[in-house]
A = this chain, B = another copy of it.
Amino acid sequence: MKDKSNNNKNEFIPNWTEEAPKAGSYRSIFKWGDPKAFKHPNNELYSLFKSELGLTDNDFKNKINEGHEMVVCDSPVNITNDQIDSLISIVGSENVATDDYSRVKYSSGKTMEEVTKLRARTIDKVNDVVVHPRDKDDVQKIVAYCNNEKIPINAYGGGSSVNFGLAPAKGGISLALNTHMNKIISFNENNQTVLVQPGMMGPAYEDILNNAPEKLNARRKYTGGHFPQSFEFSSVGGWVVTLGSGQQSSYYGDAYDLVVSQEFVTPSGNFVTLDYPATATGPKVNDIMKGSEGSFGILVELTMKVFRYTPENQQSFAFIFPTWEAAAAASREITQGEFGMPSVFRISDPEETVMALKLYRVEGTIFDKIIRMRGFQPMQRCLYIGQTEGEKGFSKHVKKMVKKVCKAHGAMYLTGYPLKNWKHGRFSDPYMREDAHDYGIILDTVESPVTWDNLHKLHEGVRKFVKNRPNTMCLTHASHFYPQGTNLYFIFMAKYSDLDEYKAFLEGIMDAVLEHGGSPSHHHGVGKMFAPFMERHLGKEQMAILQALKNHFDPNNIMNPGQLGLGK
């Protein structure tokens, strides 16, 4: 459905793609999200893109590399027929695939580089075979067999990786965990925990928990509390092994905090960590495994914390601040104020605020007029949107305190209206990526955690690099808050001459991030994309510790070689 605001007669509207990709096409692999769902830039955004990126309507007349062709993969299958037969004997022939499409699909994530190459029908290294294990016994047999035969195994969860996490550096097997291993095994209402298979996707997981009285015979409704932007296309196991965060994690905690225990299958042995709420029995193996991104072994089951589901207690709010400094100072005060945390908590920098006021439809409303009247200046003012939840009185009190702090920092209250609009598009905004890319425009993101005392230095340092390139947008927000700091999420958007120019630019951004005290990742993980930055970031000694663990679990280096910069 096209956006209503695009129906203005006198304006040119690009012919945004409105058809689901053909089955078997490149586009069906790289398209974000639901094949049949689309979100196009509204009129205001389209105008903004043109002016900011130095483009005209003419740049939006001819699409480039739409990827409608059927996938062809010339890469030979590098494992033997005997080996394939052995895999078939474990999981059945219906669960072993060597067709071109499967091999390419299960070797691809959603990085702009992968998408650009798929559009150009350039196939990088792919897996030799895709295997769909039915249960953890299958995984055990596969890992044991592959360890003997020295066949690499690359785990595949929801497929939403944005860091080459799914790219099989040495070929081998892509292990598709979301095909069969995607169910809740048991629910423990006393402990508020759920035992789940790693390949369960976000919406199915949340749906069962929200409807726990009917679906789990529970006394109450529950929520998993984890809502990354990739929610619809990411798996519970994927959240944990990549250390994901969600849009409500400032209240519920990051994926790291949600995991009570895990069962792992590794080449050196299988184990379940224990489900105590706390222990003092030495270093916590349960925590050591988190973030291992398939390089230690395969996560086959996990016990997750769940929370009471009380949407009726949610309170939403938005504020406009006179400056980024004021928004950041208020955020710190809220985070350190010890009155409880909002769940949704997002401050946009001045450049992102320009876009956000359009995207969340504040522009043109009565709020817009008052904001102008009161002297909040474009490219200075900053939007803060948020939501509180939890028990009713708690949620109300947090909102009350947020208001108090924001007002003390010169902010104006905008009601819950912008949050409502943000919520509406919270998972669909990335769908605009394909629209832009159809016309050669790359929209990508880099993100980093940051302590409060380094927030402005990192923000300015990265912005300076990005904005030094003409016709390049740089939108920044902070969306995950901790008493000790927050994250900075940089969205950059531009038309590049070619992939190499884009890659060099991205590398420059990463340099700027590290140079100004940032980390390669707050919640996107490492994969193979950030692997080259790991040693520079963590130092040799920390990398040696991770490599020592790798050597212990995976002496033959078959588990996702190259992931995290380990076992190269």
Give complex CA distance A332, B530 in Å: 42
Please tell me how many copies of the chain the complex holds: 2
- Most-contacted residue by chain B among A336, A486, A523 (CB, 10 A): A336
Q: How far is the CB of A155 from chain B (nearest CB, A)?
A: 15
Interface residues of A in 262-290 (CB under 8 A from B): 268-285, 287-290
Q: Can you list, as one digit per residue, whether each of A372-394 has a CB less than 8 Å from chain B (1) or not (0)?
A: 00000000000000000111011
Interface residue tally for chain A (C-beta within 8 Å):
92
Interface residues of A in 239-280 (CB under 8 A from B): 242-245, 254, 256, 260, 268-280
Give complex CA distance A453, B187 in Å: 12
**CB closest chain-B residue, reference A566:** B282
Q: How far is the CB of A500 from chain B (nearest CB, A)?
A: 26
Give complex CA distance A523, B486 in Å: 30
Residue A188, interface by CB 8 Å:
yes
Interface residues of A in 15-36 (CB under 8 A from B): none
Give complex CA distance A485, B275 in Å: 10
Q: How far is the CB of A290 from chain B (nearest CB, A)?
A: 7
Give complex CA distance A86, B530 in Å: 45
- Tell whether A521 pairs with B308 under 8 Å between CB atoms, given A273-B542, A285-B546, A339-B393: no
Residue A520, interface by CB 8 Å:
yes
CB neighbours (8 Å) of A270 from chain B are 541
- Is the beta-carbon distance between B282 and A254 smaller than 8 angstroms? no
CB neighbours (8 Å) of A389 from chain B are 338
- Most-contacted residue by chain B among A256, A279, A310, A487 (CB, 10 A): A279
- Is the beta-carbon distance between A277 and B485 smaller than 8 angstroms? yes
Residue A224, interface by CB 8 Å:
no
- Tell whether A519 pairs with B274 under 8 Å between CB atoms, given A391-B338, A394-B339: yes
- Is the beta-carbon distance between A394 and B332 smaller than 8 angstroms? no
Residue A311, interface by CB 8 Å:
no
Could you list some 5 contacts between A and B, CB below 8 A? A191-B484, A281-B519, A308-B336, A393-B400, A548-B548
